[in-house]
Amino acid sequence: MMPTFPQQLTNLTSRIPGYIYLWLAIPIFGSSSALTRKITEIGAQHFVDGHNPISYCNVLFTGNLCALLVLVAIHRHQWSRNTWRQISGREWMGLVIVAILAGALAPGLIFQALSLTPVTNVLLLGRLEPPLTLALSIWLLRERLNRWEVLGSIVAFTGVVLTIVLQTDTPVDGFQVGVGELMAVSGAIFLSIATIVAKKYLTQVPLGIHNTVRTGLGTIVYFGLALWMYGFDHFMGVLSPFLWQWMLLYGTVIVVIGQSLWNIGFRNSSIATASLVSSFAPIVGILAAYLILGEVPTEAQYIGGIVILLGLFLGQVGMRAKTDRLKSIGVNSIETEQEIEGKMGFRGI
């Protein structure tokens, strides 16, 4: 009996090594911030009733809706009554906290930062998340880390500080620490706290439920906060055909294709490979900011970026040193996925 087309497609994709999918996902995730800025600039040239239909709020809200649909479709097998019953009250509280921090506050701050400061600054300042997460893991979770991880975190943190300090001392045309930079740093802090909460309370919660609740509840919380802060007029263009025309492209490429490629590659690759590939996302992000937006990195950004990349490399050495321990956890665990995805930074969703 001849196999059906879906079966043939499944057989074909199963023959492709997992790391290929990871490398295909990285350019999509890495360029998401630059693409987000670009489509909002396009929206600014096509006002609808005096409003930008592709505002950052609308992009984040509609993008999260697209992501939610994808997550429900991918993880629908985990949505069973028995699975829900196994989630304790403490785990539900953890899910709510993570959804508010990582699904609403952090992306909201990062999207606002993109509107106020160059994408390259947001990418580099977002590198505060991994070292801060490791520091909180040692302090709050009493987690033991190897010397390479600690050294890599210190170096990466130094790179973030250099990015700020060196640009602050430049002339008027240079960088000044303003609201956008503070928002980027605050977003990274919220993501770190969310990761610690997930490590502490959510390691036994199925990954699909965790990601779906984070995205769904986070979208609701973000929408409510935006209405409270800005009013309903802030979402006037959310039903604009012009917005959905671009969000169809944004959602298809970044949410559907990017997330699908990453999930397939993550399930079929070693932890060390996934960690290594994810380290290249910041490089792709800076390159995308140059190619898509014409943002030429400043001298301070070059110096800070090189130091941050050195920290990522040292951290990768530490990740390889503890691969055996992570294998016992399993690549589908929340802790492992967040540790690896933390290296990528914000992925536009």
Question: How high is the pLDDT of residue 92?
Answer: 93
Q: Can you say whether the dihedral through the CA atoms of 214, 216, 219, 220 is positive or negative?
A: negative
- Given a cut of 70, whether residue 260 has pLDDT beyond it is yes
- Given a cut of 70, whether residue 257 has pLDDT beyond it is yes
Question: How high is the pLDDT of residue 175?
Answer: 45
Which one has a higher pLDDT value, 53 or 319? Answer: 53
Amino acid identity, position 159: G
Average pLDDT for 238-245: 82
Confidence of residue 329 (pLDDT cuts 50, 70, 90): very low
Question: How high is the pLDDT of residue 181?
Answer: 86
- Given a cut of 70, whether residue 346 has pLDDT beyond it is no
Model confidence pLDDT, tens digit, residues 94-148: 999 999 999 899 999 999 999 888 898 888 888 888 888 888 888 888 877 778 8
Question: Who's near 131: CB < 8 A, 6+ residues apart?
Answer: 152, 153, 154, 156, 157, 160, 311
DSSP state of 2: P
What percentage of the chain has pLDDT greater than the value 70? Answer: 83
Dihedral angle computed from the Cα positions of residues 294, 295, 298 and 302, in that order, rounded to the nearest 10 degrees:
-100
Model confidence pLDDT, tens digit, residues 177-235: 678 888 999 999 999 899 889 888 888 888 788 888 988 999 999 988 888 887 777 67
- Given a cut of 60, whether residue 325 has pLDDT beyond it is no
Model confidence pLDDT, tens digit, residues 18-43: 778 888 988 988 888 898 899 888 88
Model confidence pLDDT, tens digit, residues 149-182: 788 888 888 888 888 777 655 444 444 567 888 8
- Rounded to whole angstroms, the Cα distance separating 66 from 120 reads 26
Model confidence pLDDT, tens digit, residues 3-22: 554 455 455 566 777 778 88
Confidence of residue 302 (pLDDT cuts 50, 70, 90): confident
- Given a cut of 60, whether residue 344 has pLDDT beyond it is yes
Phi, psi of 51 (to 5 degrees): -125, 150
Confidence of residue 340 (pLDDT cuts 50, 70, 90): low
- Rounded to whole angstroms, the Cα distance separating 251 from 35 reads 12
Phi, psi of 342 (to 5 degrees): -65, -25
Question: How high is the pLDDT of residue 186?
Answer: 93
Task: Give the max Cα distance, the chain.
Answer: 73
- Given a cut of 70, whether residue 336 has pLDDT beyond it is no
Phi, psi of 327 (to 5 degrees): -60, -35
DSSP state of 206: -
DSSP state of 174: S
- Rounded to whole angstroms, the Cα distance separating 297 from 301 reads 6
Full-model pTM: 0.81
